[in-house]
Protein backbone atom coordinates (compact mmCIF):
# COMPACT_ATOMS: atom_id res chain seq x y z
CA UNK A 1 0.00 0.00 0.00
CA UNK A 2 1.21 3.53 -0.69
CA UNK A 3 -0.52 6.77 0.23
CA UNK A 4 0.12 10.47 0.68
CA UNK A 5 -0.81 12.44 3.83
CA UNK A 6 -0.23 16.01 4.98
CA UNK A 7 0.79 15.23 8.54
CA UNK A 8 2.21 11.96 9.81
CA UNK A 9 2.60 11.57 13.58
CA UNK A 10 4.88 8.78 14.77
CA UNK A 11 4.17 7.71 18.34
CA UNK A 12 1.24 7.65 20.70
CA UNK A 13 2.13 8.95 24.15
CA UNK A 14 0.98 12.33 25.47
CA UNK A 15 3.20 14.08 22.89
CA UNK A 16 1.81 12.24 19.86
CA UNK A 17 -1.83 12.45 20.92
CA UNK A 18 -1.56 16.14 21.81
CA UNK A 19 0.10 16.85 18.46
CA UNK A 20 -2.79 14.94 16.86
CA UNK A 21 -5.48 16.95 18.70
CA UNK A 22 -3.94 20.23 17.54
CA UNK A 23 -3.15 19.04 14.02
CA UNK A 24 -6.63 17.58 13.54
CA UNK A 25 -8.35 20.73 14.79
CA UNK A 26 -6.17 22.75 12.38
CA UNK A 27 -7.45 20.65 9.49
CA UNK A 28 -4.19 18.80 8.81
CA UNK A 29 -5.97 15.40 8.77
CA UNK A 30 -3.20 13.73 10.75
CA UNK A 31 -2.43 10.05 10.50
CA UNK A 32 -0.92 8.71 13.72
CA UNK A 33 1.01 5.46 13.99
CA UNK A 34 0.98 4.20 17.57
CA UNK A 35 4.12 2.04 17.55
CA UNK A 36 4.48 -1.17 19.50
CA UNK A 37 3.30 0.28 22.81
CA UNK A 38 0.16 2.31 22.10
CA UNK A 39 -0.04 4.97 24.80
CA UNK A 40 3.66 4.76 25.60
CA UNK A 41 5.18 4.82 29.07
CA UNK A 42 1.92 5.86 30.78
CA UNK A 43 0.53 2.44 29.97
CA UNK A 44 2.85 0.96 32.58
CA UNK A 45 2.00 3.57 35.20
CA UNK A 46 -0.80 3.23 37.70
CA UNK A 47 -2.21 6.43 39.16
CA UNK A 48 -1.25 9.79 37.64
CA UNK A 49 -1.90 12.52 40.19
CA UNK A 50 0.18 15.38 38.86
CA UNK A 51 -1.49 16.02 35.51
CA UNK A 52 -3.51 19.23 35.81
CA UNK A 53 -7.20 18.78 35.14
CA UNK A 54 -7.51 15.44 36.90
CA UNK A 55 -8.05 16.59 40.50
CA UNK A 56 -8.83 13.07 41.68
CA UNK A 57 -5.99 11.48 39.72
CA UNK A 58 -6.37 9.06 36.83
CA UNK A 59 -4.92 5.71 35.84
CA UNK A 60 -2.19 6.11 33.20
CA UNK A 61 -3.85 3.76 30.65
CA UNK A 62 -7.23 5.47 31.05
CA UNK A 63 -5.61 8.85 30.56
CA UNK A 64 -4.04 7.66 27.30
CA UNK A 65 -7.40 6.25 26.15
CA UNK A 66 -8.94 9.66 26.76
CA UNK A 67 -6.13 11.43 24.88
CA UNK A 68 -6.67 9.04 21.95
CA UNK A 69 -10.44 9.54 22.03
CA UNK A 70 -9.96 13.31 21.98
CA UNK A 71 -7.57 13.04 19.02
CA UNK A 72 -10.00 10.76 17.14
CA UNK A 73 -12.95 13.04 17.87
CA UNK A 74 -11.37 15.67 15.61
CA UNK A 75 -10.59 13.18 12.88
CA UNK A 76 -7.14 11.77 13.63
CA UNK A 77 -6.63 8.49 11.82
CA UNK A 78 -5.03 6.30 14.53
CA UNK A 79 -3.30 3.18 13.24
CA UNK A 80 -1.94 0.39 15.38
CA UNK A 81 1.31 -0.32 13.58
CA UNK A 82 5.00 0.46 13.82
CA UNK A 83 6.94 2.81 11.58
CA UNK A 84 10.26 1.05 11.10
CA UNK A 85 12.00 3.11 8.42
CA UNK A 86 12.03 6.69 7.14
CA UNK A 87 13.50 8.60 4.23
CA UNK A 88 13.69 12.30 5.07
CA UNK A 89 15.28 13.45 1.81
CA UNK A 90 12.23 15.65 1.19
CA UNK A 91 10.52 17.81 0.21
CA UNK A 92 7.93 15.04 0.64
CA UNK A 93 9.16 12.64 3.34
CA UNK A 94 8.62 8.91 3.35
CA UNK A 95 8.00 6.36 6.06
CA UNK A 96 7.36 2.63 6.00
CA UNK A 97 5.50 0.42 8.42
CA UNK A 98 7.01 -2.89 9.48
CA UNK A 99 4.48 -4.51 7.15
CA UNK A 100 6.09 -2.62 4.27
CA UNK A 101 3.31 -0.05 3.66
CA UNK A 102 4.66 3.28 2.40
CA UNK A 103 3.39 6.65 3.58
CA UNK A 104 4.42 9.92 1.97
CA UNK A 105 4.03 12.95 4.23
CA UNK A 106 4.42 16.70 3.77
CA UNK A 107 5.19 17.01 7.49
CA UNK A 108 6.27 14.46 10.07
CA UNK A 109 5.93 14.89 13.83
CA UNK A 110 8.17 12.55 15.79
CA UNK A 111 6.86 11.56 19.21
CA UNK A 112 8.39 8.12 19.61
CA UNK A 113 9.26 8.63 23.29
CA UNK A 114 11.80 6.82 25.37
CA UNK A 115 11.80 3.60 27.32
CA UNK A 116 13.09 3.19 30.83
CA UNK A 117 15.92 0.71 31.24
CA UNK A 118 15.34 -2.08 33.74
CA UNK A 119 17.69 -4.29 35.70
CA UNK A 120 16.25 -7.43 34.14
CA UNK A 121 15.41 -9.29 37.36
CA UNK A 122 12.38 -11.62 37.41
CA UNK A 123 11.28 -10.09 40.73
CA UNK A 124 11.49 -6.60 39.19
CA UNK A 125 9.12 -7.61 36.38
CA UNK A 126 6.73 -9.36 38.76
CA UNK A 127 6.50 -6.36 41.10
CA UNK A 128 6.34 -3.56 38.52
CA UNK A 129 3.57 -1.18 39.61
CA UNK A 130 3.44 -3.06 42.92
CA UNK A 131 6.25 -1.01 44.41
CA UNK A 132 8.72 -1.17 41.51
CA UNK A 133 8.73 2.01 39.46
CA UNK A 134 10.94 3.92 37.05
CA UNK A 135 9.68 7.38 38.03
CA UNK A 136 9.93 8.92 41.49
CA UNK A 137 8.09 12.09 40.52
CA UNK A 138 5.19 9.93 39.27
CA UNK A 139 5.02 7.38 42.06
CA UNK A 140 7.04 8.65 45.03
CA UNK A 141 4.01 10.20 46.67
CA UNK A 142 2.48 6.74 47.18
CA UNK A 143 5.45 5.81 49.38
CA UNK A 144 5.57 8.84 51.65
CA UNK A 145 6.45 7.92 55.23
CA UNK A 146 7.89 4.59 53.98
CA UNK A 147 11.47 3.51 53.29
CA UNK A 148 12.41 3.21 49.63
CA UNK A 149 15.37 2.35 47.41
CA UNK A 150 16.76 3.96 44.27
CA UNK A 151 19.11 2.07 41.93
CA UNK A 152 21.52 4.07 39.78
CA UNK A 153 24.23 6.65 40.11
CA UNK A 154 23.56 9.20 37.38
CA UNK A 155 21.80 12.55 37.56
CA UNK A 156 18.40 10.87 37.36
CA UNK A 157 19.12 8.58 40.32
CA UNK A 158 20.51 11.53 42.28
CA UNK A 159 17.44 13.67 41.50
CA UNK A 160 15.05 10.83 42.34
CA UNK A 161 16.85 10.14 45.63
CA UNK A 162 16.70 13.85 46.53
CA UNK A 163 13.01 14.01 45.63
CA UNK A 164 12.20 10.91 47.70
CA UNK A 165 14.30 12.10 50.65
CA UNK A 166 11.70 14.81 51.22
CA UNK A 167 8.86 12.27 51.39
CA UNK A 168 10.38 9.17 52.92
CA UNK A 169 12.21 8.51 56.20
CA UNK A 170 15.08 6.63 54.51
CA UNK A 171 16.20 6.38 50.90
CA UNK A 172 18.67 3.59 50.10
CA UNK A 173 20.73 4.46 47.03
CA UNK A 174 22.26 1.38 45.40
CA UNK A 175 25.40 2.29 43.45
CA UNK A 176 27.17 -0.47 41.52
CA UNK A 177 30.63 1.12 41.57
CA UNK A 178 32.58 3.04 44.23
CA UNK A 179 31.68 6.36 42.63
CA UNK A 180 28.71 8.11 41.09
CA UNK A 181 28.36 9.28 37.53
CA UNK A 182 26.07 12.18 38.48
CA UNK A 183 27.27 15.78 38.20
CA UNK A 184 29.40 16.94 41.11
CA UNK A 185 26.77 19.27 42.50
CA UNK A 186 24.14 16.51 42.53
CA UNK A 187 26.57 14.09 44.17
CA UNK A 188 27.33 16.65 46.87
CA UNK A 189 23.63 17.16 47.53
CA UNK A 190 23.03 13.44 47.80
CA UNK A 191 25.97 12.85 50.12
CA UNK A 192 24.95 15.79 52.33
CA UNK A 193 21.38 14.51 52.75
CA UNK A 194 21.27 12.62 56.01
CA UNK A 195 18.41 10.27 55.14
CA UNK A 196 19.97 9.05 51.88
CA UNK A 197 22.03 5.98 52.68
CA UNK A 198 24.45 5.14 49.87
CA UNK A 199 25.34 1.47 49.38
CA UNK A 200 28.54 1.56 47.31
CA UNK A 201 29.74 -1.36 45.14
CA UNK A 202 26.33 -2.91 45.50
CA UNK A 203 24.02 -4.78 43.17
CA UNK A 204 20.43 -5.86 43.65
CA UNK A 205 20.11 -9.63 43.78
CA UNK A 206 16.36 -9.77 44.30
CA UNK A 207 13.34 -7.65 45.19
CA UNK A 208 11.33 -9.44 47.84
CA UNK A 209 7.55 -9.53 48.31
CA UNK A 210 4.61 -11.58 47.03
CA UNK A 211 1.98 -9.06 46.06
CA UNK A 212 3.95 -5.89 46.79
CA UNK A 213 7.54 -4.87 47.48
CA UNK A 214 8.57 -5.62 51.03
CA UNK A 215 12.38 -5.67 50.92
CA UNK A 216 15.40 -6.07 48.68
CA UNK A 217 18.45 -8.28 48.86
CA UNK A 218 21.63 -6.50 47.81
CA UNK A 219 25.18 -7.78 47.56
CA UNK A 220 28.44 -5.94 48.02
CA UNK A 221 30.54 -6.96 45.02
CA UNK A 222 33.83 -6.30 46.85
CA UNK A 223 33.18 -8.08 50.15
CA UNK A 224 30.50 -10.52 48.93
CA UNK A 225 28.34 -9.52 51.90
CA UNK A 226 24.57 -9.77 51.34
CA UNK A 227 21.94 -7.67 53.13
CA UNK A 228 18.15 -7.73 53.20
CA UNK A 229 16.77 -4.23 53.64
CA UNK A 230 13.02 -3.57 54.13
CA UNK A 231 11.66 -1.09 51.56
CA UNK A 232 8.19 -0.46 50.15
CA UNK A 233 9.22 1.33 46.98
CA UNK A 234 11.99 0.31 44.59
CA UNK A 235 12.90 2.93 41.99
CA UNK A 236 15.02 1.95 39.02
CA UNK A 237 16.88 4.98 37.67
CA UNK A 238 19.56 3.50 35.44
CA UNK A 239 18.76 5.55 32.37
CA UNK A 240 16.33 5.69 29.50
CA UNK A 241 16.69 4.81 25.86
CA UNK A 242 15.06 7.19 23.40
CA UNK A 243 13.20 5.37 20.62
CA UNK A 244 15.02 7.16 17.84
CA UNK A 245 17.02 4.45 16.08
CA UNK A 246 15.14 4.90 12.79
CA UNK A 247 16.22 8.56 12.63
CA UNK A 248 19.96 7.85 12.93
CA UNK A 249 21.82 9.46 10.07
CA UNK A 250 18.90 11.80 9.31
CA UNK A 251 18.55 14.03 12.38
CA UNK A 252 20.88 15.53 14.98
CA UNK A 253 20.98 13.54 18.18
CA UNK A 254 23.21 13.43 21.23
CA UNK A 255 25.41 10.48 22.10
CA UNK A 256 22.52 8.76 23.92
CA UNK A 257 20.22 9.15 20.90
CA UNK A 258 18.03 12.03 22.13
CA UNK A 259 16.94 14.19 19.18
CA UNK A 260 18.17 17.78 19.26
CA UNK A 261 15.63 20.31 17.99
CA UNK A 262 16.38 23.87 16.95
CA UNK A 263 16.41 25.65 20.36
CA UNK A 264 13.07 27.11 21.40
CA UNK A 265 11.10 25.20 18.77
CA UNK A 266 10.19 21.70 17.69
CA UNK A 267 11.93 22.10 14.33
CA UNK A 268 14.81 19.93 13.18
CA UNK A 269 17.48 20.63 10.60
CA UNK A 270 15.20 18.97 8.03
CA UNK A 271 12.29 21.10 6.78
CA UNK A 272 8.93 19.63 7.64
CA UNK A 273 10.22 17.29 10.36
CA UNK A 274 9.33 18.18 13.95
CA UNK A 275 10.11 16.53 17.28
CA UNK A 276 8.24 16.34 20.55
CA UNK A 277 8.12 14.47 23.83
CA UNK A 278 10.69 12.28 25.51
CA UNK A 279 12.44 11.41 22.23
CA UNK A 280 13.97 14.89 22.58
CA UNK A 281 13.87 15.34 26.36
CA UNK A 282 16.17 13.64 28.81
CA UNK A 283 15.60 16.15 31.59
CA UNK A 284 11.89 16.68 32.33
CA UNK A 285 10.20 13.53 30.96
CA UNK A 286 6.73 14.29 32.29
CA UNK A 287 3.36 13.67 30.60
CA UNK A 288 2.60 17.39 30.83
CA UNK A 289 5.91 18.47 29.27
CA UNK A 290 5.53 15.86 26.51
CA UNK A 291 2.01 17.12 25.81
CA UNK A 292 3.34 20.69 25.71
CA UNK A 293 5.98 19.89 23.12
CA UNK A 294 3.42 17.87 21.14
CA UNK A 295 1.36 21.03 20.91
CA UNK A 296 4.45 22.99 19.81
CA UNK A 297 5.20 20.45 17.08
CA UNK A 298 1.65 20.60 15.71
CA UNK A 299 1.70 24.41 15.66
CA UNK A 300 5.10 24.42 13.93
CA UNK A 301 3.86 21.84 11.41
CA UNK A 302 0.70 23.84 10.74
CA UNK A 303 2.71 27.02 10.13
CA UNK A 304 5.14 25.15 7.89
CA UNK A 305 2.37 23.60 5.79
CA UNK A 306 0.53 26.93 5.64
CA UNK A 307 3.64 28.83 4.52
CA UNK A 308 4.25 26.25 1.77
CA UNK A 309 0.64 26.64 0.66
CA UNK A 310 0.00 22.94 1.24
CA UNK A 311 -2.97 23.38 3.58
P1 LIG B 1 23.04 7.84 33.03
O2 LIG B 1 23.28 6.97 31.84
O3 LIG B 1 23.78 9.11 33.16
O4 LIG B 1 23.32 7.02 34.35
C5 LIG B 1 22.85 5.72 34.50
C6 LIG B 1 23.36 5.23 35.83
O7 LIG B 1 22.78 3.96 36.08
C8 LIG B 1 24.87 5.09 35.88
O9 LIG B 1 25.35 5.55 37.09
C10 LIG B 1 25.07 3.58 35.74
O11 LIG B 1 26.15 3.10 36.47
C12 LIG B 1 23.82 3.04 36.38
N13 LIG B 1 23.47 1.74 35.83
C14 LIG B 1 23.30 1.40 34.53
N15 LIG B 1 22.94 0.11 34.42
C16 LIG B 1 22.89 -0.36 35.68
C17 LIG B 1 22.59 -1.63 36.23
N18 LIG B 1 22.24 -2.66 35.44
N19 LIG B 1 22.64 -1.77 37.56
C20 LIG B 1 22.97 -0.74 38.38
N21 LIG B 1 23.26 0.49 37.92
C22 LIG B 1 23.22 0.67 36.58
O23 LIG B 1 21.43 8.05 33.04
P24 LIG B 1 20.57 9.21 33.71
O25 LIG B 1 19.18 8.85 33.43
O26 LIG B 1 20.96 9.40 35.12
O27 LIG B 1 20.94 10.51 32.91
C28 LIG B 1 20.84 10.52 31.48
C29 LIG B 1 21.31 11.88 30.98
O30 LIG B 1 20.37 12.88 31.37
C31 LIG B 1 22.65 12.32 31.58
O32 LIG B 1 23.35 13.02 30.59
C33 LIG B 1 22.27 13.24 32.70
O34 LIG B 1 23.26 14.17 33.01
C35 LIG B 1 21.01 13.89 32.12
N36 LIG B 1 20.11 14.34 33.19
C37 LIG B 1 20.17 15.65 33.54
C38 LIG B 1 19.36 16.12 34.55
C39 LIG B 1 19.45 17.55 34.89
O40 LIG B 1 20.23 18.25 34.29
N41 LIG B 1 18.70 18.01 35.85
C42 LIG B 1 18.42 15.27 35.26
C43 LIG B 1 18.45 13.90 34.82
C44 LIG B 1 19.27 13.47 33.81
P45 LIG B 1 27.70 3.38 36.04
O46 LIG B 1 27.95 4.80 36.45
O47 LIG B 1 28.42 2.37 36.83
O48 LIG B 1 27.74 3.14 34.57
- By annotation, the residues acting in catalysis are 135, 138-139
Q: State whether the beta carbon of 134 lies less than 6 angstroms from ligand 1.
A: no
What pLDDT is recorded for position 217?
98
Burial 258-292 (b: 16+ CB within 10 A, else e): bbebeeeebbbebebbbbbbbbbbbeebbbebbbb
Give the percent of the chain with pLDDT over 90: 94
In this prediction, residue 1 has a pLDDT band, given cuts at 50, 70 and 90, of confident
CA angle 12, 75, 26 (to 5 degrees): 90
Tell which phi-psi region holds residue 292, choosing left (phi > 0), alpha (psi between -120 and 50) or beta.
Answer: alpha
Give the percent of the chain with pLDDT over 70: 100
Give distance in angstroms: CA of 132 to centre of ligand 1: 18
Output the CATH code of domain 118-236. 3.50.50.60
Give distance in angstroms: CA of 240 to centre of ligand 1: 8
Atom 18 of ligand 1, residue of closest alpha carbon: 119
> Residue 3 gets which letter from DSSP?
E
In this prediction, residue 47 has a pLDDT band, given cuts at 50, 70 and 90, of confident
Euclidean distance between CA atoms 231 and 151, whole angstroms: 13
Average of per-residue pLDDT values in the chain: 96
Give distance in angstroms: CA of 155 to centre of ligand 1: 6
**Number of the ligand 1 atom closest to the C-alpha atom of 119:** 18
CATH class for the domain made up of 2-115+240-307: alpha beta
* CA nearest to 287, candidates 85, 113, 35, 123: 113
Q: State whether the beta carbon of 257 lies less than 6 angstroms from ligand 1.
A: no
Q: State whether the beta carbon of 155 lies less than 6 angstroms from ligand 1.
A: yes
Contacts of 215 (CB under 8 A, 6+ apart): 207, 208, 209, 228, 229, 230, 231
Q: Are 122 and 107 in contact (CB under 8 A)?
A: no
pLDDT of residue 45 exceeding 80: no
In this prediction, residue 218 has a pLDDT band, given cuts at 50, 70 and 90, of very high
Give distance in angstroms: CA of 252 to centre of ligand 1: 21
* CA nearest to 7, candidates 199, 276, 234: 276
Euclidean distance between CA atoms 279 and 108, whole angstroms: 14
User: pTM for the complete prediction?
Assistant: 0.85
Domain boundaries, given as residue ranges, for the chain: 2-115+240-307, 118-236
Q: State whether the beta carbon of 302 lies less than 6 angstroms from ligand 1.
A: no
Q: State whether the beta carbon of 27 lies less than 6 angstroms from ligand 1.
A: no
Amino acid sequence: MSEKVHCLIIGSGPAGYTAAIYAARAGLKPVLYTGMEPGGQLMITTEVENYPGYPKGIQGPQMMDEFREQAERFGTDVRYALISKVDLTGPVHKAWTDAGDEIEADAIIISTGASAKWLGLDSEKRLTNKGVSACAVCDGFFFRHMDVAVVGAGDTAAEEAMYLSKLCPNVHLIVRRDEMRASKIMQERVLKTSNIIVHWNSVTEEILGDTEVEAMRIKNTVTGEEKVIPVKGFFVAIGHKPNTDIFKGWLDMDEAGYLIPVPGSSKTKIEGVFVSGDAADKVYRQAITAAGTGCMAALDAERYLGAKGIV
